[in-house]
A and B are shown apart, each in its own frame.
Chain A
């Protein structure tokens, strides 16, 4: 029984959230144990992650069913829109921290470190840098790094390709949206599929770049503050792309099953917003991490 209250849909009691929380607890517990090399760590992590994935599947599945059953009116739709919009805002703030750390380091603290001759005599402020005690930077895309040296990924190779991939995927998802609004289901499915493929291609290229960095360029998480900011920014972005691709895939499957109506398809739009957000962050990354 689900009681509709004056039109606004109020869900019945639900078990998904608190089980998801238990999964999260196991994940955090397991991760901590794993970080300290204690045996049950990985197992707890797998168990926790599995619980979370299953619960989210069930939870979103239920919402999709309710949506298709026509339980949500316009006001519920507005709540969802606000929820998603402000969630993305909080994500913007999350990335802002790492961009802020990058700017602070490059503009203020690295020059200060070089200015204080007392502490690290001879250290010069350059960017990229792995700091006074870190490896030496020898220019971008240098494949012959020796020990104690590191290189970086030049902007106009694969990163440029990645930019093209993501920006065009933003276009294709919009084309898919237009198709949905005109109820052209074939075009919708096609362009959404293209979007997913472009996103997956980005992930493939990015994974290749990481392997290149670790295996040939000497660029790792341990490459001082350059490596730290590089990997935390691109890494969290890559994680968000992965989430975005999974979300879009789910939406694609729902489209193939005939979900969504031309005038009512918040699930699609939420995923598309998220995807545009991920793209925008990439543009920031391309400019501030790769080019400048």
Chain B
């Protein structure tokens, strides 16, 4: 893919706070998303440290059980909806127009609204922690009957979910319209960078899944306050109905979290292997297959709820199928690196760690997909280990890879490689120390979401807490790296890396405020 140089006029940047409040510029909005995500990441991280502090020893020391439950719930909600999802939308905003040669997102005003829906939603969730009765304490899955009880914190949570959902839907619409309608001439679908592809597919997942969650919490609201009996057997309803609806959203949701991450990894690995991505077409089809399958596997989260045997079997086999396209991806990444001239700058370190660690998470997932085995694993720390290997080591580490990869492009300065490596090693070691022992805890039967535990679980929990401290405080290094790169440092060239592929590298670093006013020619 070669390109002509872009046009650089129209570069007056608005000043002051209103630049950020009123902006319709995809780069500014991307920056807002990324900072919002980072702040949420720190807030959610602090909550996880409260959880780990309480679990350092058996018995109750640090917080009371009700507050502990609020911490597990709000930690998860903030991380999923506040940190990971907006983080990747931030990447989408920054990178998609630059990658496809578009002047901006297709619907810039709507883009501003998608972002500015997030802070009020987050504020509602935080307020909920301070009202009588406290915040939601049901776990992020919001199962009734627990969520039918409880004070106004739950109502705040419901409206938070509604508003975040609006943001996601509007954001997805924008991304779809941008990708389908704004590509530069010659940028055919099968020439799009994989990050753009995975986001296109993710946007469809969001459009199909988020309204389902909105419907589910709306039914919770009416059951709570308006006398309906959707989830109450006394009125003919069924609490398991909520679980079905929630997971019909919930499983696609986990792929919403991971597909953009796959996209980032598929950009980073070729650059540092100095080879084109292996199996581009199969990557596209694997992503689409994952997206499709993700809608027919939801009940693997409910094996123990009492489904008919035929249901258990169907969901078991369907879930196992997902391992195939996922395996295709892992294979392609490995094949890309095979015989490449590899170098291990920070983005590549993170990318390689994702390939290794996410695979671990995929394999534990495969174990849990086996219905009879999952009767043992369900609701134990084994699940907690599984989804941290997928979400933290898959999505969050990919985000880190992406940040280091594109930070020089965004800021115009190289980041501090030494600090980057420190961040990498402390994070990855801390992560494994935190979560690897949780596999053993889960297999031995330690239930999740409980502030106290039996004595025999003590050692592993202590190791885990120590790991979490290392991992938690290591994130401050990222803050330092980013702030340093914004303020100065070695000037980055347009290409930044050695012959990276993609239109974004044809622009200067940092790119002008408006790029591709005239569409580049893609050959």
Residues of the A chain whose Cβ atoms lie less than 8 Å from the Cβ of B117 = 21, 24
> How far, in whole Å, are A98 and B218 apart by their CA atoms in the complex?
10
- Find A59's partner among B109, B156, B173, B232 (CB 8 Å cutoff): B109
Contact A16 B109 (CB under 8 A): yes
CA distance A232 to B499 in the complex (A): 57
A109 to B10, CA, bound (A): 61
Measured between beta carbons, the chain A residues less than 8 angstroms from B494 are none
Cross-interface CB contact of B237 among A29, A86, A225, cutoff 8 Å:
A225
Interface residues on B, range: 35 or more
Given contacts A17-B112, A97-B211, contact A113 B10 (CB under 8 A): no
Interface residues of B in 8-35 (CB under 8 A from A): 10, 14, 18-19, 21-24
Known: A13-B14, A18-B116, A225-B235. A94 touches B214 (CB 8 A): yes
Cα distance A227–B222 when bound, in Å? 12
Judge whether A147 is part of the interface by a CB distance below 8 angstroms.
no
Which residue of chain A is the closest to B124 with respect to CB atoms?
A28
Assembly CA distance A164 to B173 (angstroms): 33
Given the interface pairs A83-B174, A83-B177, A109-B240, the reply to whether A97 lies near B235 with Cβ below 8 Å is: no
In the complex, residue of chain B having the shortest beta-carbon distance to the beta carbon of A93: B211
> Which of chain A's residues have a CB closer than 8 A to the CB of B180?
82
Q: Which of B216-232 contact A (CB under 8 A)?
A: 216, 218-219, 222-223, 225-230, 232
The smallest C-beta distance from B218 to any residue of chain A, in angstroms, reads 8
Within the assembled complex, what's the spacing in Å between the Cα atoms of A119 and B270?
60
Q: Bound state CA distance, A59 and B240, in angstroms? A: 42
The reply on A69 being an interface residue by CB < 8 A is no
Q: How far does the alpha carbon of A227 sit from the alpha carbon of B218 in the complex, in Å?
A: 15
Contacts A87-B173, A105-B236 given; does A78 touch B211 at CB 8 Å: no
Supposing A18-B112, A90-B211 touch, asked if A222 and B227 sit within 8 A by C-beta, the answer is yes
A87-B173, A96-B212, A228-B237 known; A221-B227 Cβ under 8 A: yes
Q: Is the CB of B155 within 8 A of A35?
A: yes
Contact call B181/A14, Cβ cutoff below 8 A: no
Residues of B within 8 A of A16 (CB): 109
* Chain A residue with the shortest CB-CB distance to B209: A93
Q: Which residue, of A32, A59, A113, A120, has the highest number of chain B Cβ atoms within 10 A?
A: A32
Per the 8 Å Cβ criterion, residues 361-406 of B in contact with A are none
Q: Are B152 and A131 in contact (CB under 8 A)?
A: no
Asked if B107 and A104 sit within 8 Å, CB to CB, the answer is no
Is B155 within 8 A of A134, CB to CB?
Answer: no
Interface flag for A57 (CB, 8 Å): no
Task: Judge if B454 is at the interface, Cβ distance under 8 Å.
Answer: no
A11 to B216, CA, bound (A): 36
Q: Interface stretch among B83-91, B256-264, B319-327, B514-522? A: B514-522
Most interface-central of A101, A109, A110 (chain B CB within 10 A): A101
The 18 listed contacts between A and B (C-beta, < 8 Å) are A3-B10, A6-B7, A8-B182, A11-B24, A14-B24, A17-B112, A17-B116, A29-B127, A79-B107, A87-B173, A94-B212, A101-B219, A109-B241, A131-B236, A132-B234, A222-B229, A228-B229, A231-B228
Nearest first, the 9 A-B pairs at minimum CB distance are A131-B236, A97-B215, A17-B113, A228-B228, A222-B227, A25-B120, A13-B22, A225-B236, A109-B238
Given known contacts A131-B232, A222-B229, what 16 new A-B pairs fall within 8 Å (CB)?
A: A5-B10, A17-B116, A18-B116, A28-B120, A75-B181, A78-B181, A79-B107, A79-B178, A87-B169, A93-B207, A101-B215, A101-B219, A113-B238, A229-B230, A232-B222, A232-B230
